[in-house]
A and B are shown apart, each in its own frame.
Chain A
């Protein structure tokens, strides 16, 4: 398959490239930018006038809900939704049923993903058996089966000794740990930020120290062990300041934030909208502003969708009984554009947070647009407006805080490994 993308505004955050030119693709690679090879005959020409051509998005957290949670969504549906979101590589967390704690499960997932159209799938293995926080998994075997990192996802790690040992062991084998800082005891009953909304509506709270106490423990153990740790889903201003200091001290850490936390705050939970029930909770506007600042100055490296499709039955419940999480992989790009336009962030820098930076954290190809690089691209219309609705989302999870709202920026084409895997309107 040879593809020529004509006359688009080509942006590659990694190299600083930004200009109108053509992109030539053959055999899964980008073969030329600007001027095509003399003998290039495209099977497919994409007219990209007025569109932006950028590296395909790399999403650090997309739940495909397989194995075991097919009543929420399926691997096929969420792969399709991811492609529609311009995502060409994704990491899927191990919080499946059973969790990704055995090589066989990971191999099956990789096999299924490879045979479905859609993004490259990079499983994150369970850090402990059944995610119980007690016994280490066979990280070496899981890595050979395809796991790129190890994580507890949202499952608690109550025993600090297990955390220390897991860092030592992962360090030994050179694997990164992806850890979301949340103290079990300080968070176990909570569903919202310990703030104005919790005070008014009596919803059980998760205080900021749930994040900072856990973060402090992780950072001290990183200092002790030298383990490489990626911190997932920061939510608080105080947490951001701790990461800022730790990075300044030279600790081997990176961190991300979920896209909804870049925009929403606890006030959005004020009408008991279960689609705003998320883990970590949406915090105060001050916290949200600190997350934005940290993205701007580089303390937060990447933005992910933290895609969590949830079936309607699990959401149509009183807030505190509802299943947490929001569908998001199809909103990642428009919400990144919205954040960029609201903060005056140059487009290329904004896109770096969902392309080159997360690819670097994953340690995989992609996230860049370069000759001889993989042909993973996203072509989007930065001007197009669309309304988020159950009908416009391909994901089986319709649980979006943005339902009924209009967003700007629509993916028109997603090219993955040289194949046109998504074409808007087809």
Chain B
């Protein structure tokens, strides 16, 4: 869809809005660039001057602590000036439109917008309207995409598994409402993962999810069988009881990842989670803290991946 909007005429990354439609070449380039930033975080002086003098606006129309913080750290490690705006409590509540907010911030000489918004497609809309020198990075829009999370997950998988071509990956949980799952699915299929499964009750899956190239499983036992990677999705509190699911307890019983269920996966399987976790709902503490878990490394890699994305989009206009 947005491949043209995301790339410069000569094929470089201009905005990062979604992983759908981005060529494997670009995804790999982002992962490779992130790899080169890993040592920066391990040094005494954790800074490189790539974005010195650039103003990065964190535009969060929806609350977030973790993602906003990692974007902020990433921008600061690139030596950018970071301005955090929690719009959920300011301008749009006063009736200002999304595009007016963006126009005003552009007038403050922004170079990059990192956008989180509750509506799918909001970063696309902004990208269509910003001046040519401004880049937009999607930090999560509605249920549509969370591309940097998808990329850091790919980075993690590549780090532990060496590649994608022989993997069986299961994504377990609330795919219907998950922008993370959508980004993961696009990335995995683009990078050549031969078998991507989604595992969830029918109430938590989009009706035509199979059209995205995934295998649909309803039972954990068969769903994660022989998988190399098991990705657990967060179940939002408000969805734990009602028409989607009867209770958190029943969800845990059938779809929660316990050490026992994990035995179905390959012995060297890794377990991932985008956070924040609901221990005892979608994942058992023994798994979350166990030897298969790579959940904390995901967070660390997230900074390098976001540095990679920001440096690439900022460099596309140069």
Which chain A residues have a beta carbon within 8 Å of chain B's beta carbons?
Answer: 194-196, 198-205, 207, 270-272, 313, 316-321
Inter-subunit contact A198/B97 (CB<8 Å): no
Give, as a whole number of angstroms, the nearest-CB distance from B293 to chain A: 27
Bound complex: CA A204 to CA B98 (Å)? 20
Inter-subunit contact B208/A201 (CB<8 Å): no
Which of A202, A207, A313 has a CB less than 8 Å from the CB of B97?
A313
Which of B2, B99, B142, B211 has a CB less than 8 Å from the CB of A271?
B2
> 9 more A-B contacts (CB under 8 A) besides A194-B208, A313-B97, A317-B97?
A202-B143, A203-B143, A205-B206, A272-B120, A316-B97, A317-B119, A318-B122, A318-B142, A320-B119
- Which chain B residues (51-74) contact chain A, with CB distance < 8 Å? none
Counting CB contacts under 8 A, is B179 at the interface?
yes
Give, as a whole number of angstroms, the nearest-CB distance from A335 to chain B: 25
User: 29 A-B residue contacts at CB 8 Å?
Assistant: A194-B207, A196-B208, A198-B208, A199-B206, A200-B20, A200-B182, A200-B212, A201-B182, A202-B144, A202-B145, A202-B177, A202-B178, A202-B179, A203-B121, A203-B142, A204-B143, A205-B207, A271-B2, A271-B124, A272-B121, A313-B97, A316-B97, A316-B129, A317-B97, A317-B119, A318-B125, A318-B142, A319-B119, A320-B121
Residues in B neighbouring A202, C-beta threshold 8 A: 120, 142-145, 177-179, 182, 206
- Asked, given contacts A194-B207, A195-B208, whether A317 binds B142 with beta carbons under 8 Å apart, the answer is no
Counting CB contacts under 8 A, is B48 at the interface?
no
Give, as a whole number of angstroms, the nearest-CB distance from A185 to chain B: 10
Bound complex: CA A200 to CA B142 (Å)? 12
Inter-subunit contact A271/B1 (CB<8 Å): yes
| Residues 120-143 of chain B, each 1 if its beta carbon lies under 8 Å from chain A, else 0 | 111011000100000000000111
Residues in B neighbouring A205, C-beta threshold 8 A: 206-207
Inter-subunit contact A319/B121 (CB<8 Å): yes
Counting CB contacts under 8 A, is B209 at the interface?
yes
Inter-subunit contact A318/B211 (CB<8 Å): no
Residues in B neighbouring A270, C-beta threshold 8 A: 1
Q: Which residue on chain A has the smallest CB distance to residue B186?
A: A200
Inter-subunit contact B211/A201 (CB<8 Å): no
| Residues 1-30 of chain B, each 1 if its beta carbon lies under 8 Å from chain A, else 0 | 110000000000000000010000000000
Inter-subunit contact B207/A201 (CB<8 Å): no
Residues in B neighbouring A271, C-beta threshold 8 A: 1-2, 124
Inter-subunit contact A199/B97 (CB<8 Å): no
Counting CB contacts under 8 A, is B273 at the interface?
no
Inter-subunit contact A207/B99 (CB<8 Å): no
Give, as a whole number of angstroms, the nearest-CB distance from A312 to chain B: 10
- Asked, given contacts A271-B2, A320-B120, whether A199 binds B208 with beta carbons under 8 Å apart, the answer is yes
Bound complex: CA A313 to CA B98 (Å)? 10
Bound complex: CA A271 to CA B2 (Å)? 7
Inter-subunit contact B207/A207 (CB<8 Å): yes
Bound complex: CA A316 to CA B98 (Å)? 9
Inter-subunit contact B98/A317 (CB<8 Å): yes
Counting CB contacts under 8 A, is B234 at the interface?
no
- Asked, given contacts A271-B2, A316-B125, A318-B120, whether A198 binds B142 with beta carbons under 8 Å apart, the answer is no
Q: Which residue on chain A has the smallest CB distance to residue B121?
A: A272
Give, as a whole number of angstroms, the nearest-CB distance from B102 to chain A: 11
- Which chain B residues (86-124) contact chain A, with CB distance < 8 Å? 97-99, 117, 119-122, 124
Residues in B neighbouring A198, C-beta threshold 8 A: 206-208
Residues in A neighbouring B99, C-beta threshold 8 A: 316
Q: Give the bracket for the number of chain B residues in contact with chain A.
A: 20 to 34
Residues in B neighbouring A272, C-beta threshold 8 A: 120-121, 124-125
Bound complex: CA A318 to CA B119 (Å)? 6
Inter-subunit contact A201/B120 (CB<8 Å): yes
Bound complex: CA A270 to CA B121 (Å)? 10
Of A272, A316, A321, which is in contact with the most chain B CB atoms at under 10 Å from its CB? A272
Inter-subunit contact B119/A199 (CB<8 Å): no
Q: Which 4 A-B pairs have the closest CB atoms?
A: A202-B143, A318-B119, A272-B121, A199-B206
Give, as a whole number of angstroms, the nearest-CB distance from A316 to chain B: 6
Bound complex: CA A128 to CA B281 (Å)? 46
Bound complex: CA A291 to CA B30 (Å)? 45
Give, as a whole number of angstroms, the nearest-CB distance from B238 to chain A: 13
Residues in A neighbouring B1, C-beta threshold 8 A: 201, 270-271
Bound complex: CA A318 to CA B145 (Å)? 14
Give, as a whole number of angstroms, the nearest-CB distance from A193 to chain B: 9
Give, as a whole number of angstroms, the nearest-CB distance from A55 to chain B: 42
Which of A199, A316, A318 has a CB less than 8 Å from the CB of B117?
A318
Bound complex: CA A74 to CA B121 (Å)? 31
Bound complex: CA A270 to CA B208 (Å)? 15
Bound complex: CA A196 to CA B129 (Å)? 27
Q: Which residue on chain B has the smallest CB distance to residue A197?
A: B208
Q: Which residue on chain B has the smallest CB distance to residue A266?
A: B208
Give, as a whole number of angstroms, the nearest-CB distance from B146 to chain A: 10
Inter-subunit contact A203/B2 (CB<8 Å): no
Inter-subunit contact A201/B209 (CB<8 Å): no
Bound complex: CA A198 to CA B119 (Å)? 13
Q: Which residue on chain A has the smallest CB distance to residue B125?
A: A318
Residues in A neighbouring B208, C-beta threshold 8 A: 194-196, 198-199
Of A204, A207, A320, which is in contact with the most chain B CB atoms at under 10 Å from its CB? A320
Residues in A neighbouring B121, C-beta threshold 8 A: 201, 203, 272, 318-320
Residues in B neighbouring A196, C-beta threshold 8 A: 208, 211
Inter-subunit contact A195/B207 (CB<8 Å): yes
Q: Which residue on chain B has the smallest CB distance to residue A195?
A: B208
Bound complex: CA A389 to CA B20 (Å)? 30
Give, as a whole number of angstroms, the nearest-CB distance from A273 to chain B: 10
Give, as a whole number of angstroms, the nearest-CB distance from A313 to chain B: 7
Q: Which residue on chain A has the smallest CB distance to residue B61?
A: A318
Bound complex: CA A316 to CA B125 (Å)? 8
Residues in A neighbouring B145, C-beta threshold 8 A: 202
Inter-subunit contact A203/B207 (CB<8 Å): no
Of B117, B177, B207, B211, which is in contact with the most chain A CB atoms at under 10 Å from its CB? B207
